[in-house]
Each structure stands twice: as structure tokens, then as C-alpha cells.
Structure 1
Amino acid sequence: MSTPPTLILHHYPTSPFAEKVRLMLGHKNLSWKSVIIPMVSPKPDVVALTGGYRKTPLLQIGADIYCDTALIADVLEHIQPLPTLYPEPSKGMARTLAQWADSTLFWTSMGFNMQPKGVAQIFERAPPEAAKIFAEDRKAMSAGMSRQRPQDAAAAYKSYLRRLSDMLDDRPFMLGDVPCITDFAMYHPLWFTRVRTSVLADILNATPAVLDWIDRMAAMGHGTMEKFTAQDAIAVAAASTPAGLAGDIFQDEHGIALGSQVMISAENFGLEPTHGELVAATRMHYTLRRTDERAGLVHVHFPRIGYSLKPAHAV
């Protein structure tokens, strides 16, 4: 029996998307190493591994760096197939609803959570300038995005919560008797409301079925965690070789050949590009090869959905 790989999660405790991954690790009863990263830039240790991408979280396995929780979910599924995140026969529906939750539901909840009362609670124990620094950092990451006002977000959030409650009328999880990727994607925005901006959590009280579901999800825990330093994680990358690329590694949609110098960036939030050599463009994801003076040779992986691929010289 092969030894399971060492999973290194780069995250911070209050990140909702990191909570999504932590809960998936718990669901699959996996052991992992925890590297705490800053909430805001600069993030030199993160950039040493990614080459530019700085959203939270990242999953590191040796010299392979996986960006975006949608791709991280697929990686965890490959490592530990059971219990599955994608139970049949609703796998396609589960992925589609998860994408909605990670975008529409998430940004609606954040529009509601980040009203003045919520922000005051988040930063109540932080230095006075912390909220301003955070706001400036997220403003830079969301340049060009339209953001909902708290009043509009509250109205939409209430409607979405009622819809989630309807989904839970006759089953314990969103699509059936067992949790799937939809549950994890829908959980983390609500977790932030309930845990991080609890002064606003009364909005959840009108949907008791949703509160009960949140409790069932939270009971999964976070698996077995061991603290790890960023320096040790970078040393692991430097001492490792990226995993081999298997199967059909090239599905061309851009007219960009393997071996080309390219850049990949998110389409709407956190637009900092990662530059490198394109070594795979599969049906589901991209892989860039890059070298860092501290981390050495690494492969950085992105999902296709939600990311754009361009030649490195493109403006």
C-alpha cells in the first residue's frame, strides 16, 4: 500500500474558502500540515511557491502547488476517493451548484457580512489600521468587480437561505443522504456569517433547517492537523520534484503550444498573474512550470474554469 502524500495547506483561520478545504479534509479524515499565511499582501512566501497568485488557500504536495478550492477538491478526491465529494447520480448537478455557491452565494454573503457592524466585529481585537489595510487589499484584488450594497445583499441572502432550506426539507444534505461538493461550497459563506460576523447571524434564524445542516457539516471537523512553517514548506518544495503528468495533457483551446511562456490569472477576483512554461492543458486544468530561487522547480496548477490563459507577452 502506497504512503499517502504529505498535504500542506497554506491558509489563515478566518478565510471562508480555507474553511471549505479544512472541512473537506475532515470529511475525508485526512492528515495535513498547516501553514498560516497573511490575510493581506505582501505574501512573499506564498509568491515564492505560486509566482504571483495570492488567493487563499493553496494546497502543496511536494513541489506541486494547487490553486483554487475547486481544483483542490479534485486533488483530495484523487488522493482519498471515499467518502466521495461527487456521489452519483448527481455529480454534474453538484459541481454546477458548487460553482454557483462559490461565486453568487459567496459574494452575496460577503456583501451582507461586510456591512459596518460585521467589519467592526471582525477587527474588534485588531490594531486600528487593520481594517483600512484589509479594505485596501481587497479593493485591489477586486478591481473592476461590481459589489452589492449591504441592503441589496441582505435581500438576496434571505432569498437564497430560503431556497437552501427548501433543498433540506426531506434530506440531511443538499442533494441527498450524504454530503457532496455542493454542501462544502454552500457551507463556507454561511460559516463566515455564523462564526466571524455573529452579530449579523440572526439572518439565519428564519431557516432552522439550514442551521441544523450547518451543525451537521461543522461536526465533520478538520481532520488531523499539524503546525508547519512557511520556511519548512518552501524547503519541502525545493527538495522535491514535481509529480509526473499523466494521460492526455493537452487539449488546445487557445492556439498556444505546450512549452510556451504564458500567464494565468483569475477572471474576476485576485487578478495577479502567474507566469511560467505551459506544460499541461488538460480538459480540467492548466499546469505551469516555473523556477523560484527559494522553492526551486515547481508545477503550479489551476482549474480551467474561472481562469484565463494568455501568452506571456500579451498586454
Structure 2
Amino acid sequence: MSTELILHHYPASPFAEKVRMVLGFKQLPWKSVIIPSVMPKPDVVALTGGYRRTPVLQIGADIYCDTSLICEVLDHTQPEPVLYPPHLKGVSRVFAQWADSTLFWTAMAWNMQPKGLATLFAKLPPEVGSAFLDDRKAMSVNMTRLRTQDAAPAYRSYLRRIAHMVEEHDFLFGAEPCVADFAAYHPLWFTRVCTPSVADVFDHVPAVLEWMDRMAALGHGRMEKFNAQDAITVAAGAEPLPHMSAVFQDDHGIALGSEVTVAPESFGPEATQGTLVAATRTRYTLRREDPRAGVVNVHFPRIGYVLRSAPP
């Protein structure tokens, strides 16, 4: 049974940076598979069956989608240092959900203004930038995206609120980081590292930059380069983990063993189709078979995802 952590990601992905930082916090060894930032992503889809957001965590023949779920898996894999301290279990999750949604989309609207885009794609051919923007437009077809002029005052306000928190503590909720720190860090990291031409938004919140420096010092853990075909071979040679202890929670009138689809609520509308083999209080698990990857279990969090019966 393979227990190696394989992260499918690309360097400039902010959500991948969130997971890379958690790996560093926990000093975990992991294998790095670099994937395209835009479609097509045939090697990713061979594992996920359709889901194409970044990153994806693979452990053998089990594929974990969405960083909220990936963080829980990593915390279970390596319980110390703790990502969800008992006294912060509720507030840290609520804050992380806000940071991964409202804060993230506000930051990205600021980052993707013309000056930021020029910096992001400065060393790449023009067609690369065009392909990226077209791809993200397709991913956000059902979303209302903020304009820069609307995002600017909100981003500044959010940064001031974060500054108030880290002026009192080294990290958001105390002396040690928790899941909230990693969720808040990654969109700000993109501003500072990937679009530094618009990083003057931090000029009036030096405490935020000091907190970011403390976060960056955690590093990325022990990374080893790996390639996509080898990762698919790992999946093909492994068996998905059993779910004997999983308690079925039925909120849809869809029985285990049914053919279903799971798709994000909004960004990245592509669905994964498979057999529903688990539906717990917090996640869905679909079993599917791929000609290259073999039989895999693909896991999604319930929050942020939509379960439906597969079309006949």
C-alpha cells in the first residue's frame, strides 16, 4: 500500500502554495508533479475523471480534491504540529473558508489588474497570457467577478483587519500557525511574489509583511521531483483504501453504489462521474476506472461541491 504524498501542482498556483506551506509546517516528505496551468490536463484528468482545479493530492490510488480536504488529510497523516487546535477548531475553519473564498477572489481581482498581469507574464510569449485568461474565463463562466476598482478598497480593508490580528500575536490566533494562517497567506503570497508590481497594497500594513515572513520561514517540507506518468503508474499499481468505518449520511436520496457526478459549486465547473462509495458527514468518495490509472477513489469535501445522480 503506497503512502507517499504526491502533489500535482504548478509553481504559481496560490492554492498549491497553501498546501506546500502545510507540508513545510509539518515537515512532510512529498513528491512534486508539475502540471499545466491551463487545459488540456490529460494526466490530471486520468486521475480525477474531470476535476481540473489545482492542486490535487494523490496517495496511491486515492485522489483528494480541494485544499480544504487536502489539509484535513495531511493533518491526519501527521497530527503534529496540529493544524486545527482544539480551542480554535471552529473559528479557524470558518476563517479559512472566508480566506479561501472572499479574501482570495478579492486579492485576485486586485492582482489581475493590467499592471499585475504584465508582471506575471513578462517573461512569457503573449499567447501564454492569452491562453491563461481564456482558460480562467471558461472556469468562471457562472461567477460574478470583482472589478479592480471594487476589489481595491475591500482588499485594503481586509489587510488592515489581518494586520490588527498579527500585531497582537505572531500568527493570526496566537503563538503558532493554524489552518487559518495558511488559507489567508496564499492569496497575499500571490500579490507579493507573483505580481510584485501591485504589492504596494502592503505599504501601510508592515505587520502583515512581518507575519508573511514568519509564514515563509516554514518552508515547503522535503520535496522530490516526480513525473506525471510515474504518478499514474503508482495509482494503477495500488488499491484504493477501504471505507469500512465510514458512516453513510444521505441528504440527496441517492444510494451508495449509484452512478453520480460531483462538481464545484462555481469556479471550475467540470464534473467527475463515478460510483458513490462513501458519503460521510464531511466528504464524498467516487470510485472510477481509467484506462491508464486503473481503479481510483476520488474524494471531495461536501462544502463547496454539488452531488447529483449521473445522467442516464
TM-score normalised by length of structure 1: 0.98
Structure 1 position 84, deviation (Å): 0.6
Cα deviations across residues 201-256 of structure 1 (Å, max 9, x unaligned)? 11112111110000000000000000000000000000000011142331000000
Structure 1 segment 59-138 matched on structure 2, within 5 A: 59-138=57-136
Cα deviations across residues 125-182 of structure 1 (Å, max 9, x unaligned)? 1111111111110000001100111111111000000000111121111011110000
Instruction: Choose the corresponding residue for 1:238, options 229, 236, 239.
Output: 236
Residue pair 2:2, 2:238 contacting (<8 A) in 1 also: no
AA aligned opposite 1:48: A
Identify the residue that residue 265 of structure 1 maps to in structure 2. Answer: 263
Using the alignment, how far apart are the partners of 1:257 and 1:138 within structure 2?
35
Structure 1 position 88, deviation (Å): 2.1
Residue pair 1:260, 1:311 contacting (<8 A) in 2 also: yes
Residue pair 1:58, 1:65 contacting (<8 A) in 2 also: yes
- Say whether 1:304 aligns with 2:299: no
SS in 1 for 2:278: strand
AA aligned opposite 1:92: G
Structure 1 position 4, deviation (Å): 8.6
Structure 1 segment 168-207 matched on structure 2, within 5 A: 168-207=166-205
- Say whether 1:158 aligns with 2:156: yes
Instruction: Choose the corresponding residue for 2:276, options 275, 278, 284.
Output: 278
Residue pair 2:109, 2:147 contacting (<8 A) in 1 also: yes
Using the alignment, how far apart are the partners of 2:218 and 2:244 within structure 1?
32
- Say whether 1:214 aligns with 2:215: no
Identify the residue that residue 49 of structure 2 maps to in structure 1. Answer: 51
Using the alignment, how far apart are the partners of 1:58 and 1:310 within structure 2?
22
SS in 2 for 1:192: helix
SS in 2 for 1:89: helix
Residue pair 1:10, 1:37 contacting (<8 A) in 2 also: yes
Residue pair 1:4, 1:79 contacting (<8 A) in 2 also: no
Using the alignment, how far apart are the partners of 2:165 and 2:39 within structure 1?
39
Structure 1 position 288, deviation (Å): 0.1
AA aligned opposite 1:135: L
Aligned positions, number: 312
Using the alignment, how far apart are the partners of 2:193 and 2:167 within structure 1?
24
Q: Which structure 1 residue ranges, 4+ long, deviate > 6 Å from structure 2?
A: none
Using the alignment, how far apart are the partners of 1:55 and 1:24 within structure 2?
18
Comparing 282-291 with 160-169, greater Cα deviation is found at 160-169
AA aligned opposite 1:109: A
AA aligned opposite 2:233: A
AA aligned opposite 1:54: R
AA aligned opposite 1:237: A
- Say whether 1:5 aligns with 2:3: yes
Using the alignment, how far apart are the partners of 1:199 and 1:185 within structure 2?
23
Mark the runs of 5 or more structure 2 residues left unpaired by the alignment. Answer: none
Residue pair 2:2, 2:60 contacting (<8 A) in 1 also: no
AA aligned opposite 2:19: V
Using the alignment, how far apart are the partners of 1:171 and 1:89 within structure 2?
16
Structure 1 position 99, deviation (Å): 0.2
SS in 2 for 1:269: coil
Instruction: Choose the corresponding residue for 1:256, options 226, 245, 254.
Output: 254
Percent identical among aligned pairs is: 64
Identify the residue that residue 288 of structure 1 maps to in structure 2. Answer: 286
SS in 1 for 2:7: strand
Using the alignment, how far apart are the partners of 1:58 and 1:27 within structure 2?
18
The alignment yields a C-alpha RMSD, in angstroms, of: 1.0
